[in-house]
Chain A
Amino acid sequence: MISPDTTHPPHSLRLRSGNQMMAEGALQAGCTFFAGYPITPATGIFKTMIDLLPARGGVALSAPDEISAVAYCIGASMRGAKAMTATSGPGWALMTESVQYALMTETPLVVALVQRLGPSTGGATQGGQGDVLLAEYCTSGGYTIPILCPTNARECYELTILAFTWAELFRVPVIVLSDKETGMTIESVDVGSLPSITSQNRPSNFAFRELGGFRQNERKGTYYFDAIHEIPVFAPVGGPRKVTATGSAHDKQGRLQKNSPETLEVLLHLEQKVRWRLDDFAVVTADLQPAAGTLIISYGITARAARDAVSEARRMGERVSHLIVHSLFPIPVKKITQAAHNVDEVIVAEENMNGLYRSVIDRHLAGKRVRGVNKIGAMITPQEILEAIMS
Chain B
Amino acid sequence: MELLTTTNGMEVVYQKPPTLTDTPLRYCPGCGHGVVHKLLMEVVDEMKIQDQTIGVAPVGCSVFAYDYMNIDMQEAAHGRASAVATGIKRILPDKYVFSYQGDGDLAAIGTAETIHTVNRGENILIVFINNAIYGMTGGQMAPTTLLGMVTSTTPFGREQQVMGYPLKITDLVAQLPGAYYVTRQAVHTVQAVRKAKKAIRNAFVYQTRRQGTCFIEIVSNCPSGWKMTPVEANDWLEKNMLPFYPLGDLKVPAS
Chain A interface residues (CB < 8 Å from chain B): 37-40, 43, 46-47, 50-51, 61-62, 64-66, 90, 120-121, 124
Contacts and interface: CB of A to CB of B under 8 A. Distances in A.
Given A62-B153, A121-B77, 12 more contacts: A37-B108, A38-B137, A43-B140, A47-B138, A47-B152, A47-B153, A64-B109, A65-B108, A90-B59, A90-B78, A121-B63, A124-B136
A343 to B, nearest CB: 43
Given A38-B138, A43-B137, A121-B75, A50 B109 contact: no
Interface in B80-122: 104, 108-109, 111
Contact of B77 (A37, A61, A64, A90): A90
B163 interface: yes
25 contacts: A37-B108, A38-B104, A38-B134, A38-B138, A38-B140, A39-B137, A43-B140, A47-B138, A47-B152, A47-B153, A50-B152, A50-B153, A50-B154, A61-B162, A62-B140, A62-B153, A62-B154, A64-B108, A65-B79, A65-B109, A90-B59, A90-B77, A121-B59, A121-B75, A121-B78
9 interchain residue pairs of minimum CB distance: A65-B109, A38-B137, A64-B108, A38-B140, A50-B153, A38-B134, A62-B141, A62-B153, A43-B137
Contacts of A65: 79, 108-109
A51 B155 contact: yes
B109 A37 contact: yes
Contact of A64 (B136, B143, B154, B155): B143
A225 B250 CA distance: 59
Interface residues of B, number: 23
Contacts of B104: 38
B76 to A, nearest CB: 9
Interface in B120-173: 134, 136-138, 140-141, 143, 152-155, 162-163
A47 B155 CA distance: 10
B153 A46 contact: yes
A64 B111 contact: yes
Contacts of B63: 121
A46 B111 CA distance: 22
A40 B155 contact: no
A120 B59 CA distance: 11
A43 B155 contact: no
B5 to A, nearest CB: 42
Interface in B47-93: 59, 63, 75, 77-79
B145 to A, nearest CB: 9
B168 to A, nearest CB: 15
A121 B75 CA distance: 9
Nearest to B156: A54
A247 B215 CA distance: 38
A39 B104 CA distance: 11
A51 B77 CA distance: 29
A43 B104 CA distance: 15
A121 B109 CA distance: 14
A46 B139 CA distance: 12
Contacts of B59: 90, 121
B105 to A, nearest CB: 10
Given A65-B108, A120-B77, A121-B59, A40 B143 contact: no
Nearest to B138: A43
A160 B155 CA distance: 25
Nearest to B76: A121
A121 B74 CA distance: 13
Given A51-B155, A121-B75, A121-B78, A40 B137 contact: yes
Contact of B163 (A38, A62, A66, A90): A62
Contacts of B77: 90, 120-121
Nearest to B110: A65
A85 to B, nearest CB: 14
Contacts of A50: 152-155
Nearest to A50: B153
Nearest to A120: B77
A46 B143 CA distance: 16
A180 to B, nearest CB: 13
Contacts of A47: 138, 140, 152-153
Nearest to B167: A64
B117 to A, nearest CB: 16
A268 to B, nearest CB: 36
Contacts of A90: 59, 77-78
Contacts of A37: 108-109
Contacts of B153: 38, 46-47, 50, 62
